[in-house]
Chains A and B, each alone.
Chain A
Amino acid sequence: MNDTVKPTRITTVPRYGDQPADKLYLPAIYAGIKVTLGHFVRNVLDITAMETLEYPEEQPTDITSRYRGLHRLTHREDGSIRCVACFMCATACPAQCINIIATERTDGIDEKMPEIFAIDTLECVFCGMCVEACPCDAIRMDTGIFSVTGKTREDFVLQRDRLLSHTGAFETEQTRNKEASHD
Chain B
Amino acid sequence: MTTAQILVTLGSIVLAALLALLMIPVLVWLERRVCGLIQDRPGPNRTNVFGFRLGGVVQSFADVVKLVTKEEYIPDHIRYGRWIFLLAPMITFASALLAFMVIPFADTVQVDGAALRIQGLPVSYGILWYLAIGSVGILGMVFGGWLSHNKYSLLGALRAAAQMISYELALGLGIISMILTYDTIDFNAMVQWQSGTFWGFIPAWGLFIQPFAAVIIIIALFVETNRAPFSVAEGESEIVAGFFTEYTAMKFAMYFMGEYVAMNTASAVIVTMFLGGYQLPWFSTAALLEHFRTVAGVLLLLVPVVMTLFILWMRRNNRVRLTLSTDGGRGRETRILTGVLIGTTLLIEAILLWLLLEPAGSIGASVAVPLLQIVIFVVKLMLVNLFIILIRWTLPRFRYDQVQVLGWRYLLPAALANLFVTSIIVAGVGS
Contacts and interface: CB of A to CB of B under 8 A. Distances in A.
**Do A and B share a direct contact in the complex (Cβ within 8 angstroms)?**
yes
Interface of A: 26, 29, 32-33, 35-37, 39-40, 43-48, 50-52, 54, 57-58
A57 B37 contact: no
A57 B46 CA distance: 12
- Residue of B38, B319, B390, B393 with most partner-chain A CB within 10 A: B38
Nearest to A23: B410
B394 A32 contact: yes
A51 B394 CA distance: 21
A47 B320 CA distance: 8
A57 B316 contact: no
Interface stretch (B116-124, B321-329, B346-354): B321-329
Interface of B: 34, 37-42, 215, 313, 316-317, 319-326, 328, 390-391, 393-395
Contact of B324 (A29, A51, A54): A54
- Residue of A26, A29, A48 with most partner-chain B CB within 10 A: A48
Contacts, number: 57
Given A29-B395, A43-B40, A52-B40, A37 B390 contact: yes
Given A29-B391, A29-B394, A54-B324, A40 B317 contact: no
B320 A33 contact: no
16 contacts: A29-B394, A32-B395, A36-B394, A39-B37, A40-B34, A43-B38, A44-B37, A48-B317, A48-B322, A51-B40, A52-B40, A52-B41, A54-B321, A57-B324, A57-B328, A58-B321
Contacts of A26: 215
B59 to A, nearest CB: 16
Given A44-B37, A47-B42, A52-B41, A33 B321 contact: no
Given A29-B395, A37-B390, A54 B320 contact: yes
A47 B393 CA distance: 19
A39 B319 contact: no
A19 B322 CA distance: 50
Nearest to B46: A54
Contact of A50 (B42, B323, B390, B395): B42
A50 B41 contact: yes
A27 B316 CA distance: 35
A33 B394 contact: yes
Prevailing SS type, chain B contact patch: loop
Contacts of A48: 317, 319-322
A46 B314 CA distance: 10
A47 to B, nearest CB: 4
A87 B390 CA distance: 57
Given A48-B319, A50-B41, A58-B321, A33 B34 contact: no
Closest 4 CB pairs of A and B: A32-B394, A43-B37, A57-B324, A47-B317
Given A33-B391, A36-B390, A37-B390, A46 B321 contact: no
A33 B391 CA distance: 7
Nearest to A33: B394
A7 B322 CA distance: 61
A46 B42 contact: no
A41 B326 CA distance: 27
Contact of A57 (B41, B42, B326, B390): B326
Contacts of A35: 394
Contacts of B40: 39, 43, 50-52
A37 B390 CA distance: 8
A95 B263 CA distance: 49
A5 to B, nearest CB: 40
A29 B323 CA distance: 39
A48 B37 CA distance: 11
Contacts of B328: 57
A46 B316 contact: yes
A39 B39 CA distance: 7
A38 B104 CA distance: 33
Contacts of B325: 57
Nearest to B215: A26
A57 B313 CA distance: 23
A93 B322 CA distance: 43
